[in-house]
Amino acid sequence: MSTFDTLGLDAPLIQAIQDLGFTKPSEVQQKAIPILLGEETDLVALAQTGTGKTAAFGFPLIQKIDPSRKHTQGLILSPTRELCLQITNEIKLYAKYIPGLHTVAIYGGASITEQASQIKRGAQIVVATPGRMKDMINRGLINITQIDYCILDEADEMLNMGFYEDIQDILSNTPKEKRTWLFSATMPKEVSVIAKKFMNQPVEITVGSKNSGASTIVHEYYVAGSRDRYQALKRLADAHPEIFSVVFCRTKRDCQKVAENLIEDGYNAAALHGDLSQNQRDLVMSSFRKKQIQMLVATDVAARGIDVDDITHVINYQLPDEIETYTHRSGRTGRAGKEGVSMVIVTRSELRKISHIEKIIQQKFTLKNIPTGMEICEIQLFALANKIKNTEINHDVDEYLPKINEVLDGLTKEELIKKIVSVEFGRFYNYYNKTRDLNASEPSDRGDRAERSEGYSSSNADSVRYFINVGSRDGFNWGTLKDFIRDTVGLGKDDVYKVDVKDSFSFFNSDTTAKDIILETFHEFKVDGRFINVEVSTEGPGNFKGKPKGKRDFDRPGFKKSKPSFDKGGYQGKGGFDKKKKFEFDPAKKSKRRQGFG
């Protein structure tokens, strides 16, 4: 196994690498560093984001620079201000034991005179965005006519962002004999054009297969109705209590809307898009880095600068217009050898795009089920139990303990546990206990649609459609549910009809004349301690258009505390948990139900 010592790096760099805690070079570093340290050559390196490209060019560049000479010797072009700053910081860390070596960042949105004076003081390495760089050249504030090395980092992104002409102009100010090192995640036609036009017989290295995603990323897709996208997004987040994610939307408007909805629903979310000022974007990014934001909702353009490690999930709220963009999105997770998941919410009509992407990334997607409400409750319940178990005890509470003991006097340990868990868990239970299956991928999809349109017409002057919170999971099929309702209410043989049993809830119809007796019978009606709830279904199931903020939506789970639902008695009133009817944590059943987001 190769180490940094065998790559030909000098002692000051090795020392800095140790400080950084890098133990072993990444693949692109292993391949690129010896080439770049060896004979002078141009290079094209293709590697995914998060594979360590900065060091792959940074180490050799630093070693080749002569710090005793003050003029600019190396120029790194990078697509965004954020990346530019990040590369600058990294290079400074790498070069910390090399006295006299100065690195300066040049980017838009900050004082050009300040940047110019930094350059004037001497910067052997300049890291720049193309726009500002061109500006400075035009104003004579920088001299790059003597550089030895030019690095085009994230070349594909720079071209995507329309910097082709700027790059061309900048390069025309550099000496012919310089060496050009091009780094890119993908190799679209435009990048090969650059390589041909501006480079001299470059050595080409590829990490992984061309255009493919990093192998530590798992790709999943979830099929939902187009109106259910947002609900599906929430479920994906709720099924991963520790999520730290970027959610990609296609437009600024969608981005803003989704972020606002998430915030309103209690999630730690924020939007990142081009309509925000630079200052606002910086604030958002800094909160995201500190993990104060768990869901960053971004457009592709705005997300270009995101180089945050530890992102657990990338969620494609919508697929990008350009399939190539998918690689960039998914590359935001699975960085530095960590595992990551890239999730895509698609409608049935978009399914063929999935196979298209599979071809490009040369990796397979897994079809996953959007978790049901009860699965989420289960996951959240266990997450909460674990959180309680792992919480360090705060001894400041010790002095209150006698009083607290008084308050809780008479509760058994078991009751106490149930109550503590219910306090937090109630939010999820209240929200999810009656929700429907969002998956549009089942063979029953056509049935679903039929049911939807039927749903509209099913409640009319003569007939009423109801929602009931039991389903096949409770052991009902249409026949037994029909009998159960009929017998419970005391109705005649054909009084209950159009029974449609779903996983955890069902629908049925009765004549309007039976409406009052049905609703009355099921008012605060319990079986085995579990409330069986019947409501008039005002719309077809699955159609939330124009839906008033009704019971089913009355509380939303999220990451913030302070939702008062439990205090209102919502959870306790439902009583389902206590009797374990629905929450039978049968291990066999659980593993089956939970597969896919364990």
Contact call for residues 571 and 274 (beta carbons, < 8 A) = no
**Residue 327 interacting with ligand ADP (CB under 6 A):** no
- Chain positions 118 to 137 lying near ligand ADP, rule: CB under 6 A, are none
Alpha-carbon dihedral of residues 333, 335, 339, 340, nearest 10 degrees? 0
**Residue 54 interacting with ligand ADP (CB under 6 A):** yes
Residue nearest to Mg ion (CB): 53
**Residue 332 interacting with Mg ion (CB under 5 A):** no
- Chain positions 37 to 56 lying near Mg ion, rule: CB under 5 A, are 53
Q: How far is the CB of 53 from Mg ion (least distance, A)?
A: 5
**Residue 25 interacting with ligand ADP (CB under 6 A):** yes
Cα 596 from Cα 15, distance rounded (Å): 43
How many Cβ atoms sit within 10 Å of the Cβ of residue 116? 16
Report the sign of the C-alpha dihedral through residues 588, 593, 596, 598, in that order.
negative
**Residue 330 interacting with ligand ADP (CB under 6 A):** no
Q: How far is the CB of 197 from ligand ADP (least distance, A)?
A: 24
Q: Identify which range of 46-54, 127-135, 372-380, 475-483 contacts ligand ADP by CB under 6 A.
A: 46-54
**Residue 486 interacting with Mg ion (CB under 5 A):** no
Q: Which does 135 bind (CB under 5 to 8 A by kind): ligand ADP, Mg ion, none?
A: none
Q: Which does 73 bind (CB under 5 to 8 A by kind): Mg ion, ligand ADP, none?
A: none
Contact call for residues 439 and 502 (beta carbons, < 8 A) = no
Figure out which of the listed residues 134, 235, 335, 368 binds ligand ADP, where binding follows CB under 6 A: 335
Report the sign of the C-alpha dihedral through residues 520, 524, 528, 534, in that order.
positive
Tokens of 493: 């043989």
Binders of ligand ADP: how many residues, by CB under 6 A?
A: 16
Contact call for residues 496 and 484 (beta carbons, < 8 A) = no
Cα 156 from Cα 152, distance rounded (Å): 9
Q: Which does 245 bind (CB under 5 to 8 A by kind): ligand ADP, Mg ion, none?
A: none
Cα 199 from Cα 171, distance rounded (Å): 11
Contact call for residues 316 and 213 (beta carbons, < 8 A) = no
Tokens 């898009």 locate to 273
Figure out which of the listed residues 36, 45, 49, 489 binds ligand ADP, where binding follows CB under 6 A: 49
Looking at beta carbons only, is 49 or 435 nearer to ligand ADP?
A: 49
**Residue 50 interacting with ligand ADP (CB under 6 A):** yes
Q: Using CB atoms within 10 A of its CB, is residue 370 exposed (0-12), middle (13-18) or buried (19+)?
A: buried
Q: Identify which range of 23-31, 128-136, 408-416, 552-560 contacts ligand ADP by CB under 6 A.
A: 23-31
Looking at beta carbons only, is 180 or 430 nearer to ligand ADP?
A: 180
Tokens of 323: 């399939």
Q: Which does 55 bind (CB under 5 to 8 A by kind): ligand ADP, Mg ion, none?
A: ligand ADP
Q: Which residues contact 310 (CB under 8 A, 6 or more apart)?
A: 244, 335, 338
Cα 500 from Cα 505, distance rounded (Å): 9
Looking at beta carbons only, is 53 or 563 nearer to Mg ion?
A: 53
Amino acid at 141: L
Q: Which does 51 bind (CB under 5 to 8 A by kind): ligand ADP, Mg ion, none?
A: ligand ADP
Per-residue binding string, ligand ADP, 302-321, x by CB under 6 A, is -----x-x------------
Cα 158 from Cα 126, distance rounded (Å): 17
Tokens of 429: 């239970």
Figure out which of the listed residues 15, 22, 473, 572 binds ligand ADP, where binding follows CB under 6 A: 22
Binding site for ligand ADP (CB under 6 A): 22, 25-26, 29, 47, 49-55, 307, 309, 335-336
Binding site for Mg ion (CB under 5 A): 53
